[in-house]
Amino acid sequence: MPLLSKSELLDTIVSAIVDSGWNVLYLSGPEHPFQLQVYRQGESYRILVYIWNISHGGGAARPADEYRIQVTGTNHFQQQPGVKTLVLGWWQEIGVFAGFDVRKHSGVLGFSPSLQIRKPSLEQAAQTGFAPYDKGNQEIAIAFRPDFFGEYVRSLESLHDFGQSSQDLAALETVSQQPDVNTAELPVTSQARRTTVTSVSRKLRDAKFRKSVLAAYSYRCAFCGLQLNLTDAAHIVPVTHESSVDRTFNGLALCALHHRAFDQSLVTLWEDYSVRCSEEQVARLTASARHGGLQGFKEGLYQTIALPNIVSDRPHVDCIKLGNEIRGWLTRAT
Ligand SMILES: [Zn+2]
């Protein structure tokens, strides 16, 4: 497996940020370490990223499943107030990152230092999205898939702090292996740790849902067929409702425009899979002279949604009924 150049590693980081639902700004040139701004919906983080390829530990004296990054080209990791410093490895073979805790490696680094992680953690992250690895001395490394990148940045310090308590680390390991576990029942040492565990669990479930829904619809909007990496996985019964489930049959792949229109109840799908535009909303928009583009919008909609090939992945009638009911479609003229 060829090793990636620094500019290829930067591309990998940027793709991961976008893949995890965040946006990115380049704050510096192509020089390593990379300075980026990661943001979405009112949340924003400035990050400084050190990254190297992950390779096998090598040498008969090292454990067979030990992998590592070899730190080259710098003798210390910069840390600045207001900036999150990421020390990452990338394993191209299975497409996962390893994140190391910069606070455990402050000061001048030794000669040609390396940071280790074990193969089972990397492999688990490829499967479930995320896996902590206990390095001992209260330090943990975190293996994660590209679609977890935004969550890793957001929770950087709090995630690595789980190394301080074996009880908390056990809870984090449980969530990484079983994202559906009830996090309210996991023993942890503080409310802050529970908040992080719950956030990780939610993110892992979201990522799984998104992946399965987008794959089921071949990354095409169910209402118009658009791809271009502009599709989201939308819940038919919204995630805030108690009956909502993270199953493909409660999902729809929708482009950004139609996701917004679906959430605003301007457009929906009916139980026979037909696509409907709300006449009541159209009348209201027309009355307030906000109906510009309506004709093109209507013409861009399929008459019936594009369905997944696998029958069990198709929107479930009960989900469609409940979704339409709680979005107000049955109480208004359509
Ligand atoms: Zn669309």
Q: Is residue 135 in a domain?
A: yes
Looking at the fold, whether 36 and 151 belong to one and the same domain comes out as yes
For 103-139, what is each residue's pLDDT tens digit?
999 888 877 789 999 999 999 999 999 999 999 889 9
Helices (H), the chain: 6-19, 119-128, 149-154, 156-160, 166-177, 191-216, 256-263, 279-287, 294-299, 317-326
Interval between CA 17 and ligand 1 midpoint (Å) = 23
pTM, to two decimals: 0.87
Q: 1: pLDDT confidence band, cut at 50, 70 and 90?
A: low
Sheet holding 55-56, edge to edge: 55-56, 66-70, 114-118
Interval between CA 246 and ligand 1 midpoint (Å) = 21
For 264-298, what is each residue's pLDDT tens digit?
999 999 999 999 999 999 999 999 999 999 999 99
Average pLDDT rounded to a whole number, residues 140-163: 95
Interval between CA 251 and ligand 1 midpoint (Å) = 14
Looking at the fold, whether 152 and 223 belong to one and the same domain comes out as no
Nearest to 201 by CA among 142, 134, 148: 148
Alpha carbon distance 146, 204 (integer Å) = 12
Looking at the fold, whether 139 and 227 belong to one and the same domain comes out as no
Q: Is residue 81 in a domain?
A: yes
Give the residue from 124, 157, 190 where a domain finishes: 157
pLDDT at 106 (0 to 100) = 87
Interval between CA 258 and ligand 1 midpoint (Å) = 5
Helix (H, G, I), strand (E, B) or coil at 205: helix
pLDDT at 333 (0 to 100) = 52
Q: Is residue 311 in a domain?
A: yes
Q: Is residue 97 in a domain?
A: yes
pLDDT at 332 (0 to 100) = 63
- Residue 172 near residue 162, CB atoms below 8 Å: yes
Looking at the fold, whether 130 and 249 belong to one and the same domain comes out as no
Looking at the fold, whether 258 and 135 belong to one and the same domain comes out as no
Q: Is residue 333 in a domain?
A: no
Question: Is a pLDDT exceeding 80 seen at residue 61?
Answer: no
Structural domains in the chain (count)? 2
Looking at the fold, whether 17 and 151 belong to one and the same domain comes out as yes
Interval between CA 259 and ligand 1 midpoint (Å) = 7
Alpha carbon distance 30, 306 (integer Å) = 41
Average pLDDT rounded to a whole number, residues 15-19: 93
For 172-190, what is each residue's pLDDT tens digit?
999 999 988 999 899 999 9
pLDDT at 179 (0 to 100) = 87
Looking at the fold, whether 244 and 142 belong to one and the same domain comes out as no
Give the residue from 118, 135, 157 where a domain finishes: 157
pLDDT at 110 (0 to 100) = 78
Looking at the fold, whether 46 and 134 belong to one and the same domain comes out as yes
More confident residue, 334 or 77: 77
Interval between CA 299 and ligand 1 midpoint (Å) = 11
Looking at the fold, whether 227 and 305 belong to one and the same domain comes out as yes
For 231-242, what is each residue's pLDDT tens digit?
999 999 998 899
Looking at the fold, whether 149 and 237 belong to one and the same domain comes out as no
Neighbours of 180 (CB within 10 A): 11
Q: Is residue 297 in a domain?
A: yes
For 199-235, what is each residue's pLDDT tens digit?
999 999 998 999 999 999 999 999 999 999 899 999 9
Alpha carbon distance 135, 161 (integer Å) = 13
Give the residue from 141, 157, 173 where a domain finishes: 157
What are 225's two structure tokens?
A: 């067929």
Average pLDDT rounded to a whole number, residues 318-328: 95
Interval between CA 253 and ligand 1 midpoint (Å) = 9
Interval between CA 222 and ligand 1 midpoint (Å) = 7
Q: Is residue 231 in a domain?
A: yes
Q: What residues sit around ligand 1, an ion, with C-beta below 5 angstroms?
A: 221, 223-224, 226, 255, 258
Looking at the fold, whether 146 and 223 belong to one and the same domain comes out as no
Residue 253's domain spans which residues?
217-326
| Residue 164 DSSP code | G
Interval between CA 266 and ligand 1 midpoint (Å) = 13
Looking at the fold, whether 26 and 147 belong to one and the same domain comes out as yes
Beta strands at 83-91 and 43-53: parallel, antiparallel or unpaired: parallel
Interval between CA 270 and ligand 1 midpoint (Å) = 16
Interval between CA 275 and ligand 1 midpoint (Å) = 11
Alpha carbon distance 105, 76 (integer Å) = 8
Neighbours of 112 (CB within 10 A): 8
Q: Is residue 298 in a domain?
A: yes
Interval between CA 261 and ligand 1 midpoint (Å) = 9
Q: What percent of the chain has pLDDT over 70?
A: 98
Half-sphere exposure (Cβ direction) of 235: Cα atoms closer than 13 Å: 20
Write the CATH number for 121.
Answer: 3.40.1350
